[in-house]
Amino acid sequence: MMALVDSSVASGPEAGAAADLAVASLALARRFAAGATLWCMAPQWPSHGRHVAVEFVHPVVMGARALPAVSLHEADAAATVRLAARPGDILLAVSTADHAGTVDLLTRSGAWGLTSVWLGAGNRPVGSPADHVVWLEGVDPALACRSGDLVLMYHLLWELTHVGLEHPGLLEAEPECTDGVCVTCSDEGRMAEVIGVGTDGRVTALVGGRREVVDASLVDRAEPGDLLLVHAGVAITSLGGAAT
Amino acid sequence: MTTEPTGFLYPFIEAEERDGAALIGDLTRSAQSKMQESRGLRTATLERGRDGIHAAAEAMAARFLGGGRLLAFGNGGSATDADGTVDLFRHPPHGRPLPALSLVDDQAVLTALSNDVGFDLVFSRQVIAHGNAGDIAVGFSTSGASVNLLRAFEEAARRGLLTVGLCGDGGAMAVSDAVQHCLVVRSGSVHRIQETQDALMLELWSTVQRQLARSEGL
């Protein structure tokens, strides 16, 4: 489907990420066109979280549209996003693959109805909870975050998102689920986060960013903060994880 | 302030366009070309600036050995570069942690100064408060024309601080007598300048670490 790309054009650790950046950027453009806010966090390198946000809010290119972006403080990132983000917003996390807090937040972001992008360096995450992964592989993250490599990645994410916004015909059309495995309408469970426990095995949970009453009588535990997989209003698996 | 070419705003804007794959191919090639441009500029700037980087790092190492601290400042994305620099010196991936202070991370100070004396003096007044002869003032400006940086460098030079500037070309910083070591990036793109300023600072930091290790006979 995609035009062949000459991988010899760019060398260096970032070269392999170009196609992932392109796909993530078009996803961001689609979300922004629908009114999304971008929530940015970089718990290991807070200055990068602020840098991403200012790129979007105050573009360096005159005439480029100011887009809503917020940088999050690590201490209350989960609480802030859970409370303030709206379904359809975007979560951009910048970190290494082994940062537990980031993995947890990205995992929960599905229950909050967010599109997630994970940008990082070093060993690529295995089984990423994020919708989009853009990674600088084969580098020392402690150096890549200072060498200009990491900044380059989100400069390009910003720039390509704006190119995407110039293509209105592509912004209206969210990808449709035609392959039968779409989590919204197939047999697959949806991620839910318990926010309140009721009686008779029922809990209140966030599912796709909306409060729903879920029958949790089939799972071992469903405490506030726990993640559940829900199918047709019934929790089929508890993933635990009330830590945040 | 912008000098970035607007060529990335592709000319074919079609509301009827439906082929996302074609656009993704274009975006991928665009990303690859910018990556190549960024890497090329960083390599060329480090190569061309080798002597200047070495001289600045040697002077910085001497200040650190004398008990000096680094004060870092900048606006917008460059403010985050200042914060990143402070983080790099204080919490280095290897080598010796060094004392550094960000002049952009306290909103009480920033808003108090901006409200009471004006944004042009937001860094120079902090240099007056924190700076001592023997310290190091490091400022980032992609335009090289930020008035508050120029004021801060003038104040710092008056007080005997070592002054190190990282900037794009064409602004007043590159020719200011108050900036003793000015590392200039020759590019019309704010983004490429910023990426290259990161590379320059990493090289400065790493050279300072080598100098300090040598001074300790390591």
Q: What is the pLDDT along chain A (244 residues), one digit of tens a residue?
A: 333 444 444 566 777 899 999 999 999 999 999 999 999 999 999 999 999 999 999 999 888 999 999 999 888 899 999 999 999 999 999 999 999 999 999 999 999 999 999 999 999 999 899 999 999 999 999 999 999 999 999 999 999 999 999 998 888 856 555 444 555 555 578 999 999 999 889 999 999 999 999 999 999 889 999 999 999 999 999 998 765 4
A146 close contact with B: CB closer than 8 A: yes
Q: Which CATH architecture has domain A15-171?
A: 3-Layer(aba) Sandwich (3.40)
According to CATH, what is the number of the domain B39-215?
Answer: 3.40.50.10490
Contact A103, A116 (CB under 8 A): no
Measured between alpha carbons, how far apart are the two ends of chain B, in Å? Answer: 45
Residue A27 touches chain B, beta carbons under 8 Å: no
8 A C-beta contact, residue B173 and residue B142: no
Q: Which among B216, B212, B171, B182 is positioned nearest to B68, based on CA atoms?
A: B212
A5/B23 CB distance under 8 A: no
CB-based contact A48 B80, cutoff 8 Å: yes
What ipTM score was computed for the predicted complex, to two decimals? 0.91
Nearest chain B residue to A44 by CA: give it: B87
Q: What residue ranges do the domains of chain A occupy? A: 15-171, 190-240
Chosen CATH of A190-240 out of 2.30.30.140, 3.30.70.2740, 1.10.287.130, 2.40.50.140: 2.30.30.140
Contacts 24+ apart (CB under 8 A), B106-113: none
CB atoms within 10 A of CB A128: 17
Q: Which of B28, B94, B138, B143 has the highest number of chain A CBs within 10 A, making it the mutation to test binding with A?
A: B28
Using DSSP, state whether A1 is helix, strand or coil.
Answer: coil
Domain boundaries, chain B: 39-215
Which value, in Å, is the radius of gyration of the alpha carbons in chain A? 19
